[in-house]
A = this chain, B = another copy of it.
Amino acid sequence: MDVTGHTQGSGAPTQPPRRRAGVSIRDVARAAGVSYQTVSRVINESPSVAPHTRERVLAAVERLGFRRSATAHALAVGQVRTVTVLTGNTTLYGYASTLRGIEQAARATGYAVGIRVLEGESPSDVRAAVQHATDAGGGVLVIAYDRAGQAVWEALPEGLPAAAAVEAPAEVADGGARPRVWIDDRAAAAEATRYLLALGHRTVHHVAIPASVRGGSSPRALGWSQALREAGAVVPGPAGEGWDATDGHRAGRELARDPAVTAVLCGNDDLALGVVRAMHEAGRSVPASVSVMGFDDAPHAAFLTPALSTVRLDFAQLGRACFHGLLTQLAPDAPSEEAPPLTATLVRRESTAPPPP
């Protein structure tokens, strides 16, 4: 079947208006019988305007449907109420949820949000992204869960208001000039690993998400190996890495071959989905023969069969916190939100169980 779609309209292209049809501050002034400066005062809620005058102006504003030009305002004050988010991805669960949190917080605060996805991590890609963000004029938010994000975060020019959602704090303190927010993935992964160990598994294998620093390991992988070491269990070699179910499936195929593998902790739920599928194809049942655990608690995790045990992360909250980190720079006197703690919660469902006898 191949059903084709459609495009309609644009028959008579609406004339691209050279000038905004809008009514300006001067039109309002004329209508209200005052100078346009007074109009400016009124719309900026200056206290020094006679009540009577204010009302006349407001009435004119209403009647004429005046809307202040955001760009003229921005040019005059030298700042725009905009944040632009730089991210390597918009559809993976963690990224999409963080973005959602940012957008929510921004909207609630009256900020517009721009979005730009990163093409890669090459110097020219990074330069283009930084330039775009700078051009936009407002603050910058980077979702730095991967190398591309990390690269632009580091390349941001000094003085540019910015904040980031990161995988983990940099190993080396970087002066802490700019706000960064994160969830303690590492501790969460260690906890998940301990949970699996407590179930009776001799060790736990790990399919990782790529690290955001070249040559490093993801904090989740770090927490996993650390927990293993602390428990005196052997730390298996890497079992593949990636972001999506296809990557998980590939890793799972390898893992399925080794009967010694009885538990695998995945760097995210999509990876886990692929691993579970591979196990199924190899005739190894989950959790009877192998336990598989995810990370993130994406919306579908609870509905899989077996329902996926995982670690729930509140990315939307992380996104909101990130926005507020930026807001303190953009508007130092804005009421700063009391940030709720960013928590990670172990969710036990059906995909994990004691190892086969």
Contact = CB atoms under 8 A, between A and B. Distances in A.
Contact of A13 (B3, B4, B67, B329): B329
Interface centre among A72, A135, A330, A342 (most CB of B within 10 A): A135
B134 A5 contact: no
A13 B113 contact: no
Interface string A1-38: 11111111111111111111100000000000000000
A7 B319 CA distance: 12
A299 B328 contact: no
Nearest to A223: B3
Interface stretch (A178-186, A203-211, A226-234): A178-186
A332 interface: yes
A158 to B, nearest CB: 8
A159 to B, nearest CB: 6
Interface in A45-80: 67, 69-72, 74-75, 78-80
A96 interface: yes
A75 B82 CA distance: 16
Interface centre among A3, A280, A346 (most CB of B within 10 A): A3
A183 B115 CA distance: 25
A180 B6 CA distance: 8
A249 B307 CA distance: 13
A5 B340 CA distance: 10
A176 interface: yes
Contacts of A135: 67, 70, 112
Contact of A270 (B74, B300, B305, B341): B300
A44 interface: no
Interface residues of A, number: 106
A51 B112 CA distance: 41
A191 B21 CA distance: 47
Contact of A91 (B14, B96, B187, B331): B96
A188 interface: yes
Given A8-B180, A91-B96, A100-B90, A75 B78 contact: no
A264 interface: no
A88 interface: no
A6 B182 contact: yes
Contacts of A4: 184, 341-343
Nearest to A275: B303
Contact of A7 (B7, B78, B321): B321
A97 interface: yes
Given A7-B325, A72-B75, 14 more contacts: A6-B182, A7-B180, A7-B181, A7-B339, A9-B179, A13-B328, A15-B159, A16-B161, A67-B134, A107-B119, A112-B132, A115-B115, A270-B300, A305-B305
- Nearest 8 Cβ contacts at the A-B interface: A5-B342, A9-B179, A5-B183, A10-B179, A245-B303, A3-B187, A4-B341, A3-B344
